[in-house]
Structure 1
Amino acid sequence: MKAIVIGGSGATGRELVKQLLSDERFRKVITLVRRPYFESHQKLEEIIVDFEHLASSQDVIKGDVAFSCLGTTLKDAGSKEAQWHIDYDYPYHFAKMAYDNGIASFVLLSAAGANAQSSIFYNRMKGSLEDAIKKIGFAQFLILQPGGIDRPNTDRLGEKIGLKVLKVFNSVGLFKQYEPIQTHLLAKAMIESFFQYKKPIHVLSLKEIQRLTN
């Protein structure tokens, strides 16, 4: 099988590409990136794209399954408008082109609490993306909604503090739906969800994600 990935240079995306390359079920992995990132591999095709003009790369968006790990923080984006553009517009246009090119399956890394009606900007953005891709019509659309993501060697101070606080709460049984998950486990769940859930649309909670990593 052939997989195509956006967001491959992020913490979860890196693990996803690594695991896809070592997975014998996949013969080829395409990753769309803004700049060269990965070391060469016989199964890997790294394609440099301009996400502002992704339509010019439509011909390469082909395969059996597409994975989206693309996302940024409000701090890195600089504004809510810029974050929405990266977290919503880019993945949506990628999904639409994947569908138009005959890709039947789409796996989206979203977030716990995603809801298009939420008063919280981040949750509303993620929920809006989920709803928009649902309408595209993939034969198989999988949405993973983890809580905290435990990124190795993160330099985001707020994220480090937040994860520590969450772990303290989790240790006494609170906010278990937001329990942090390590990126390599989340990547594994993204791959296994493709093989185990054949429904047209399926949303995976943290508990389901964790079950796929055992």
Structure 2
Amino acid sequence: MKAVVIGGTGATGRELVLQLLANPQVESVVALVRRAFFPPDPKLQEVIVDFDRLEEYAAYIVGDVAYSTLGTTLKQAGDKDKQWQVDYEYQLHFARIARRNKIFTFVLLSANQAHPDSRIFYSRMKGKLEEAIISLDYPKLIILRPGFIARPNTDRRMEKISLGIISFFNKIGLFRKFRPISTVDLANVILNSSLNENEKDVDIWESPKILGFKQSA
């Protein structure tokens, strides 16, 4: 299998790239990144790109599976327009190029409660992105909507607080379907979802299914 990845320098994307490189079923990995990030590996081609000019790198977006784990926060982006550019426009452009280049499978890391009609900006943005990529009519499209992601050494204050609260309730047997998933485990689900021979054209993995796969893997 030949894989192409955007978002590989993020917490989950990094783990995905490392697991792809370690998997014997994967022949090669192309990681489109803003800056050099990964140590050298014979299976890895790291391509430094300008996402505003993604079309210029279309020749690198070829293979069997395309993975998009790209994303940012409103704080990191600075405002909603810039967050929309990263979380919607860049990913959709990548998906369009991959489809045009006849990549068979597309895997999108989305978000819990994503919906195009949501009143919440983030959920609406993710839902509209899902909708747009579904319309590209991939032979195989996998959308993952994880719940809370436990990122190692996170510097996000609210994320730390939320993790502590959820973990406390989980310990007393409450809100088990909302329990956190580590970036390592989530990357494992992302990878294995694409290796799974599923007949569905569009396969949406909600949080319970993601967590269930983690338990049985």
TM-score under structure 1 length normalisation: 0.97
**In 2, Cα distance between the equivalents of 1:116 and 1:105?**
23
The answer for the alignment partner of 2:141 in structure 1 is 141
The answer for the alignment partner of 1:202 in structure 2 is 203
**In 1, Cα distance between the equivalents of 2:191 and 2:34?**
23
- 5+ long unaligned stretches in structure 1: none
Paired residues, number: 214
**In 1, Cα distance between the equivalents of 2:138 and 2:129?**
14
Deviation at 1:178, TM superposition (A): 2.9
Q: Provide the secondary structure at the position in 1 that maps to 2:59.
A: helix
Amino acid at match of 2:137: G
Kindly report which structure 2 residues correspond to 1:42-191, keeping only aligned pairs within 5 A, or say none.
Answer: 42-191=42-191
**In 2, Cα distance between the equivalents of 1:14 and 1:169?**
29
Identity %: 49
Deviation at 1:50, TM superposition (A): 0.3
Instruction: From the superposition, tell whether residues 83 and 177 of structure 1 become closer, same or farther in structure 2 (CA, over 3 Å).
Output: farther
TM-score under structure 2 length normalisation: 0.95
- 5+ long unaligned stretches in structure 2: none
- Is the CA contact (8 Å cut-off) linking 1:92 and 1:133 kept in structure 2? yes
**In 1, Cα distance between the equivalents of 2:3 and 2:167?**
34
Q: Provide the secondary structure at the position in 2 that maps to 1:154.
A: coil
Stretch of structure 1 that moved more, 198-207 or 15-24: 198-207
Q: Provide the secondary structure at the position in 2 that maps to 1:192.
A: helix
Instruction: Please provide the CA RMSD for this pair.
Output: 1.1
Deviation at 1:29, TM superposition (A): 0.5
**In 2, Cα distance between the equivalents of 1:177 and 1:121?**
24
Deviation at 1:21, TM superposition (A): 0.2
- Is the CA contact (8 Å cut-off) linking 1:146 and 1:178 kept in structure 2? no
Instruction: From the superposition, tell whether residues 170 and 71 of structure 1 become closer, same or farther in structure 2 (CA, over 3 Å).
Output: same
Amino acid at match of 2:11: A
**In 1, Cα distance between the equivalents of 2:170 and 2:10?**
26
- After superposition, give the CA deviation of every residue in 1:173-207 in whole Å (9 maximum; x if it has no partner): 44444321000100000011112233110110122
**In 2, Cα distance between the equivalents of 1:93 and 1:174?**
40
Q: Provide the secondary structure at the position in 2 that maps to 1:82.
A: helix
- After superposition, give the CA deviation of every residue in 1:49-76 in whole Å (9 maximum; x if it has no partner): 0000100101110000000000000100
Deviation at 1:163, TM superposition (A): 1.2
- Is the CA contact (8 Å cut-off) linking 1:192 and 1:212 kept in structure 2? no
Deviation at 1:172, TM superposition (A): 4.1
Q: Provide the secondary structure at the position in 2 that maps to 1:67.
A: strand
**In 2, Cα distance between the equivalents of 1:55 and 1:141?**
22
Amino acid at match of 2:112: A
Amino acid at match of 2:213: L
